[in-house]
Amino acid sequence: MAWAHAQIARDNIAIALSDLVEIDYLSLDEAKEVAYAWLFGNANDFFRLGL
pLDDT in tens, the chain (51 residues): 899 999 999 999 999 999 999 999 999 999 999 999 999 999 999 999 988
Domain boundaries, the chain: 2-46
SS (H, E, C) 1-33: CHHHHHHHHHHHHHHHHHHHHHCCCCCHHHHHH
Q: H/E element holding 46?
A: helix 42-46
Residue 17's pLDDT is what?
A: 98
Q: What is the pTM of this model?
A: 0.82
Cα–Cα distance for residue pair 44/2, rounded to 1 Å: 19
